Amino acid sequence: MRVAVITFPGSNSDHDSYSAVKYCLQEEVDYIWHQDTDLSGYDCVILPGGFSYGDYLRSGAIARFSPIVSAVQKFVADGGFALGICNGFQVLTESAILPGALIRNRSIKFLGQWAYLRVENNTTPFTTRYQRHQVIRVPIAHGEGNFYVADGQLAEIEDNNRVVFRYCDKEGVVNDATNPNGSRNSIAGIVNAGGNVLGMMPHPERAADAILGSDDGLLLFESLRDSINKRAGEKTSGTVSAA
Amino acid sequence: MPSSDTITSEVKPIAGDPEVNEALYSELGILPDEFEQIKGFLGRTPTFTELGVYSVMWSEHCSYKNSIALLKTLPREGDALLAKAGEENAGAVDIGGGLAVVFKIESHNHPSALEPYQGAATGVGGIHRDIFTMGARPLASLNSLRFGSLDNPRVRHLLDGVVRGIGDYGNCFGVPTVGGEVFFDECYTGNPLVNAMSVGVVKVDGMISATMEGIGNPIMIVGSKTGRDGIHGATFASVELSKESESQRSSVQVGDPFTEKLLLEASLEIIKEKLAVGMQDMGAAGITCSCAEMSAKGEVGVEIDIDKVPTREPGMSPYEILLSESQERMLLCVKAGNEERVREIFSKWELDSTIIGEVTDTGRFVVTSKGQVVSDIPSTTLALGGETPVYIRETKRPAYLDEAHALDIGELSQDLDWNETLLTMLASPNLADKGWVFHQYDSSVRSNTVVGPGSDAAVIRLKKTRKALAMATDCNARYCYLDPFEGTRIAVAESARNLVCSGAKPLAVTNCLNFGNPYKPEVYYTFKAAIEGMSDACSALGTPVTGGNVSFYNEDPQRKVFPTPVIGMVGLIDDVACVTTSWFKNEGDIIYVLGVSKNELGGTEFLKVIHNRTEGIPPRLNMEEELRLQKTLLSAIEKRLVRSAHDVSDGGLAVALTECCIGDRDNPLGAEVTLEKLDGLRVDGLLFGESQSRVIVSVAPEDHGDFYRLLTDANQEFSRVGVVGGQRMTITGIVDVALTDLSAKFYQSLPALAERMV
């Protein structure tokens, strides 16, 4: 398994994704600079947290025009796995790889705290190691994490089981009081129609080591590894049978 | 050392410069004696440009002229110190394994009083630059904040702006803000205190000095372009705030955390490739300060062409460029031959880098413009530690002390409902949970935060090692107001105690000394007493002072601002598994109180909240007891006998016990406690007295025997007070409250006070 962590000049959680893959998952990982375009040889791309190009305009609004994001668009169109965390999720919505937008938190304040998430869909390539409706604990750290999407698209996402995580409390209760940022339907993370791209505001990579208070996020990376290995196995057997 | 008393060049004033006379130098804050001294150094009358340079470099902010003599009396020696106080931009301490921790605290009070958002933001930016200019990557930051009463709408505006400023800067820059303190008292109404601390780590062999070496080596300015912001910021910080201060808003700089992030990464690449011989950030007094200090440190001279500095707008005069405090800039002394590689790295990070001059052998800081020398000054007459003025001011014991000490505790009514009193105390913004503040900060970025805001100290692990660093800031300014010597001793002891409670061995101290106008003898008395108190405690605890910052002129026309010597302390944890937090962990664990509770109500939060008095003699610190406590507790934690440890401080035992119960908000655990009342101990003294050297500890039943033996062997005073369990906090015969009620007060008060709309 080989992972590319994209580094925009203002990425600051790129180290977090890098070390989660390298030290917690113990897999291969490289930083890829935003002006590069070559993603060949990678099984998964992570768009990390941070402030891509300062984001004074709107989170991710400039990043979508960067050389690397064009490459990511092609990578995921070819079925490659991509995980956008926090600013990475914002970049994915800005570049229309995922639907919706991340607007200012309802409180108009930055929110840096632990959050509880309920796993809504454990059949995606990123969540197979979770139980359905399992409650996990991971940090959030964002000013613009309020997921907005128009009614029609919301219905489409919900109906197709593309909501992967919802904010909840410790007991798994999802309601307005347990929604930290005002996201529609308490949505914390979604996948694209193909299921190979996950965008989420919370930070599983900062919860991949028990010493930091939670390793619930590690299961996400382990699920991803399973999916990559499974795909590799299918490809191999496919090649064999074709031969 | 090159001779500094020869005149080397003909300096010409620039056409249109104002005439240099008494009115002008007085306006720039230079005293008549100082002006004569400058003339002596130059052998002539300074030009307007030179006068500006002296004005900022001899300002209190840069020269420490009224504090340096006393600061030099602080304990500054230690075996592990790699950079001592005054040697570099920040202190550095060896932590083993080839690593050093680099840390410092600094104030941004005056800018924050005028423009809270930018003032606080640039305070954070400035202190991080002090850390990475030494080659260290900043790993964590803390803040010590003080405001007036939240009843005042202007104070709420300041709180909101300062917290957003700190958050937006640190969050974007990508360094977790892991803790600190927030304190409210009317005395800070017009003059809030905003002190920011940064902690970084560097490989010992990867450190770089703020120096210039090698005659002919190029001098480069890198980072942001220079604008007109912040001109005379250092001078502005060196006078009292007044009604006129509002008109000096342009002295407040504007921060750009994204550019700072680029500057960080680029600078660390330069240092890693060993392309530069010296580097210093540009903060107060901008280019002037960096050139003067670096050349003085290297015992060389420097000549720069001011016209080469990239500016944000055309038409800036040499005076303006020299004095600009535009943020996110660095000065580099590059090894000749490496210029191209340095340019490449900065251009990769889309930053300017420009050669503006070179190192000379003259010992002078020379500035040219349009082929003409416009300023020519011996560097050592500008740089701290050189020939800048040094004063020891007159002291006078403040008259208010006797009056305040006259409080007779016996007169205080004890006719109180203790449950209600506890709830009222918890609602005080000084005791209530500060989540409203801390949740605006990213405390988890970089995946190192083992303990974030809310416990006794924050803890950051060091990846690829077993080690972790604990850090805290502390100062009970009310104690310092009532007894500056004892109050400062306590600030040091409490910082150390907080680190020990987290499982760390205290290493060293940085300080931020916030005081009033040093020319007032009563103010200088408190400053001197605080320094003596700090010396005493730092010597006893073996924690040398590695540097910091002095902020004088914290005054409000209507009130006395408390003397506030903030202590920032860093400690080392050899095994991250020993990290301990303050809240109870398991039902059935046994609760101990280490230390002795006395009737110490003077200067307490209880006296202020319940009786509205800031009076009395604050608690006394017995250093022998303190040392015993810290040693014993650390040894118990390292033997893994302790499940939780929480320092008893503001609010006393009852508040500390509450925090142990509900500090882990999602997993509250009650306690049933019986407090033995020694003869003469009052109930308010027992519950809310703030006697020092006390810690609440919980211990698993199976470890109880070992723990008990360890305490008795160490001759540690202690009492076994009860057991963890249930969902109420009960102090037999005195207090009995449901945790939900305690939590409601503790967690909901500050948001309600801070967000009041009217």
What are the structural domains, with CATH classification, of chain A?
A: 2-237 (3.40.50.880)
Q: Which residues lie across from A166 on neighbouring strands?
A: A118, A187
Environment class of residue A23 by beta-carbon count within 10 Å: exposed (0-12), middle (13-18) or buried (19+)?
Answer: middle
Q: Which two tokens stand for residue B593?
A: 């109180």
Alpha-carbon distance of A236 to B141, in angstroms, equals 50
What is the pLDDT at residue B3? 43
At residue B7, does pLDDT exceed 70? no
List pLDDT tens digits, range A111-131.
999 999 999 999 999 999 999
List pLDDT tens digits, range B424-451.
999 999 999 999 999 999 999 999 999 9
Alpha-carbon distance of B108 to B233, in angstroms, equals 11
Average the pLDDT over B377-399 and give the result: 93
Q: Which of A24, A44, A86, A168 is catalytic?
A: A86
At residue A242, does pLDDT exceed 50? no
What is the pLDDT at residue B724? 98
List pLDDT tens digits, range B119-169.
999 999 999 999 999 999 999 999 999 999 999 999 999 999 999 999 999
List pLDDT tens digits, range B333-376.
999 999 999 999 999 999 999 999 999 999 999 999 999 999 99
E-strand stretches of B441-504: 449-451, 458-461, 468-474
Residues of A engaging B, defined by a Cβ cutoff of 8 Å: 9-10, 12-13, 15-16, 19-20, 23, 49-51, 53-56, 109-113, 139, 141, 143, 170, 203, 205-206, 208-209, 211-213
Average the pLDDT over B66-83 and give the result: 93
What is the pLDDT at residue B251? 65
Alpha-carbon distance of A82 to A195, in angstroms, equals 10
Alpha-carbon distance of A162 to B637, in angstroms, equals 47
A205 phi, psi to nearest 5 deg: -70, -20
Mark yes or no for CB contact B173/A12 under 8 Å: yes
Measured CA to CA in angstroms, residue B325 lies from A170, B231, B330 at distances of 48, 6, 11
Q: How far is A222 from chain B (nearest CA, A)?
A: 18
List pLDDT tens digits, range B693-727.
999 999 999 999 999 999 999 999 999 999 999 99
B459 within 8 A of B500, measured Cβ to Cβ: no
CB atoms within 10 A of CB B224: 21
List pLDDT tens digits, range B589-610.
999 999 999 999 999 999 999 9
Alpha-carbon distance of B363 to B34, in angstroms, equals 21
At residue A241, does pLDDT exceed 50? no
Nearest to A146 by CA among A99, A103, A98: A103
Q: What is the largest CA-CA distance in chain A?
A: 60
Buried b / exposed e along A181-198 (16+ C-beta atoms within 10 A): bbbbbbbbbbbbeebbbb
At residue A214, does pLDDT exceed 80? yes
Measured CA to CA in angstroms, residue B476 lies from B108, B211, B486, B565 at distances of 19, 37, 11, 9
- Region label for A200, one of left (φ > 0), alpha (ψ between -120 and 50) or beta (otherwise): beta
Alpha-carbon distance of B593 to B719, in angstroms, equals 5
Mark yes or no for CB contact A53/B258 under 8 Å: yes
Nearest to B475 by CA among B530, B555, B543: B530
What is the pLDDT at residue A238? 60
Q: Which residues lie across from B236 on neighbouring strands?
A: none
> Which of B438, B441, B445 has its CB closest to that of A13?
B445
Q: Does residue A205 have an active-site annotation? A: yes
**Residue percentage of chain B with pLDDT more than 90:** 88
Give the pLDDT band of residue B83 (cuts 50, 70, 90): confident
Q: Sign of torsion, CA B659 B663 B666 B671?
A: negative
Q: Which two tokens stand for residue B569?
A: 């302390």
List pLDDT tens digits, range B252-298.
778 899 999 999 999 999 999 999 999 999 988 899 999 999 999 99
Q: Which residues of A touch B257 (CB under 8 A)?
A: 51, 54
What is the pLDDT at residue B758? 59
What is the pLDDT at residue B248? 61
List pLDDT tens digits, range B194-244.
999 999 999 999 999 999 999 999 999 999 999 988 777 666 666 776 666
At residue B8, does pLDDT exceed 60? no
Question: Of how many residues is chain A composed?
Answer: 243
Alpha-carbon distance of B474 to B692, in angstroms, equals 14
Nearest to B12 by CA among B304, B331, B371: B371
Give the pLDDT band of residue B245 (cuts 50, 70, 90): low
List pLDDT tens digits, range A7-45.
999 999 999 999 999 999 999 999 999 999 999 999 999
What is the pLDDT at residue B244? 64
Residues of B engaging A, defined by a Cβ cutoff of 8 Å: 164, 167-168, 171-174, 256-259, 261-262, 265, 349-350, 435, 438-450, 461, 463-464, 576-577, 579, 666
B333 within 8 A of B358, measured Cβ to Cβ: no
CB atoms within 10 A of CB A216: 20
Average the pLDDT over B469-480 and give the result: 98
* For A53, nearest residue in chain B (alpha carbons): B258
The one-letter amino acid at B257: P
Alpha-carbon distance of B20 to B10, in angstroms, equals 17
Q: Which two tokens stand for residue B562?
A: 């408390």
At residue B4, does pLDDT exceed 60? no
Q: What is the pTM of this model?
A: 0.95
Alpha-carbon distance of B197 to B19, in angstroms, equals 41
Measured CA to CA in angstroms, residue B419 lies from B161, B409, B558, B732, B737 at distances of 35, 21, 36, 12, 7
List pLDDT tens digits, range A152-200.
999 999 999 999 999 999 999 999 999 999 999 999 999 999 999 999 9
A216 within 8 A of A136, measured Cβ to Cβ: yes
Mark yes or no for CB contact B171/A113 under 8 Å: no
Alpha-carbon distance of A192 to A63, in angstroms, equals 19
Q: How many CA atoms lie within 13 A of B757 on its CB side?
A: 0
* For A205, nearest residue in chain B (alpha carbons): B447
The one-letter amino acid at A179: N
Secondary structure (3-state) at B550:
strand
Q: Does residue B157 have an active-site annotation? A: no
Mark yes or no for CB contact B174/A12 under 8 Å: yes
Q: Which two tokens stand for residue B336?
A: 């000749």
Give the pLDDT band of residue B678 (cuts 50, 70, 90): confident
Running DSSP on this structure, what letter comes out for residue B387? T
What is the pLDDT at residue B558? 82
Mark yes or no for CB contact B444/A53 under 8 Å: no
At residue B398, does pLDDT exceed 50? yes
At residue A239, does pLDDT exceed 60? no
What is the pLDDT at residue B2? 43
B531 within 8 A of B68, measured Cβ to Cβ: no
> Which of A10, A19, A139 has its CB closest to that of B444?
A139
What is the pLDDT at residue B749? 97
At residue B302, does pLDDT exceed 50? yes
Q: Which residues of B touch A16 (CB under 8 A)?
A: 445-447
Measured CA to CA in angstroms, residue B425 lies from B179, B474, B611, B658 at distances of 22, 20, 11, 11
CB atoms within 10 A of CB A175: 10
Alpha-carbon distance of B111 to B115, in angstroms, equals 6
* For B261, nearest residue in chain A (alpha carbons): A10
The one-letter amino acid at B371: G
Average the pLDDT over B512-529 and give the result: 97
Secondary structure (3-state) at A234:
helix
Give the pLDDT band of residue B6 (cuts 50, 70, 90): very low
Give the pLDDT band of residue A55 (cuts 50, 70, 90): confident
Average the pLDDT over B659-680 and give the result: 92
> Which of A16, A49, A112 has its CB closest to that of B441?
A112
Domains of chain B in sequence order: 102-381 (3.90.650.10), 580-758 (3.90.650.10)
User: Which of A12, A14, A17, A205 to mutate to test binding with chain B, by most B CBs within 10 Å of its CB?
Assistant: A12
Mark yes or no for CB contact A212/B666 under 8 Å: no
Q: Which residues of A touch B259 (CB under 8 A)?
A: 54
Alpha-carbon distance of B488 to B365, in angstroms, equals 39
Mark yes or no for CB contact A110/B167 under 8 Å: yes
Q: Which residues of B touch A213 (CB under 8 A)?
A: 450
Average the pLDDT over B613-633 and give the result: 98
What is the pLDDT at residue B237? 67
User: Which of B442, B578, B757 to mutate to test binding with chain A, by most A CBs within 10 Å of its CB?
Assistant: B442
Query: H helices of B28-144, where?
Result: 32-42, 48-57, 60-63, 68-71, 109-114, 116-132
> Which of A16, A51, A110 has its CB closest to that of B446?
A16
